[in-house]
Amino acid sequence: FVSTGNEVITKGDEELSTSDKTPQMPTYHLKRADGSGITLVNIGVGPSNAKTATDHIAVLRPHAWLMVGHCAGLRNTQALGDFVLAHAYLREDHVLDDDLPVWVPIPALAEIQIALETAVAQVTKLEGFELKRIMRTGTVATIDNRNWELRDQSGPVQRLSQSRAVALDMESATIAANGYRFRVPYGTLLCVSDKPLHGELKLPGMASDFYKTQVANHLMIGIRAMEHLREMPLERIQSRKLRSFEETAFL
């Protein structure tokens, strides 16, 4: 395991020294001899960060990337800590508009979706209706205004309603769109941390309880999903949805 600052440990019970200065986007690498390890990047907040990170990561030609983060739940039936598996995106982040027009659909990739759903079931030990109760599949809206709910709500709320969005964040659509742009398989699993349209805001005490109960599970789900993808043949992960009719189907 390689942490920020190139601190290395080789055993699970080893103590990991911490750096005095944390970089803007800390990275953590779980390495394997065959090169099929997992890298975690804490990209921070916002579509600009999401684009910067994925622009650079794409050069390394990763087999896939996943967005695992927090979101605002838009449905009253959602509870704090519920998961959202994105199958479509409403792009209001604007940072990729010149590179990939907003009229280009960003499709869900079946292989990634199945890996994420399987990982949620394994980590939560739920199935059937109980699994569907804590994980909703739907459209995720990504915006570039952190204080969107403080504005006149007729604009953003109407668009969210028309798009049938179930969650809102500031990174997911950017990461998915850049994955589509660079032909890197992508997926999104978010965790509801607040419900601003229904009066449930992210308060200090609530956030600490939320972090304690959900963040560890959420991160483990992302790792499990990547492990499932690692077991797939590359030609299966590299979906033909990422190639135009003029391009070869696989890497």
* CA distance readout (Å), 143 to 60, 92, 149: 27, 5, 11
Computed over its alpha carbons, how large is the radius of gyration of the chain? 18
Identify the three-state secondary structure at position 161.
helix
Query: What's the pLDDT score for residue 156?
Result: 75
Per-residue pLDDT of the chain (251 residues; tens, 9 = 90+): 888 888 888 887 888 777 777 888 999 899 988 888 999 999 999 999 999 999 999 999 999 999 999 999 999 888 888 999 999 999 999 999 999 999 999 999 999 999 999 999 999 999 999 999 989 999 999 998 877 766 666 667 888 888 999 999 999 999 999 999 999 999 999 999 888 776 666 666 665 565 566 777 999 999 999 999 999 988 888 877 888 877 766 55
Task: Give the sheet arrangement for strand 7-8, strand by strand.
Answer: 7-8, 2-3, 27-30, 38-41
Full set of structural domains in the chain with CATH: 66-242 (3.40.50.1580)
Say which amino acid occupies 102. V
Unique residue bearing structure tokens 């990209």: 43
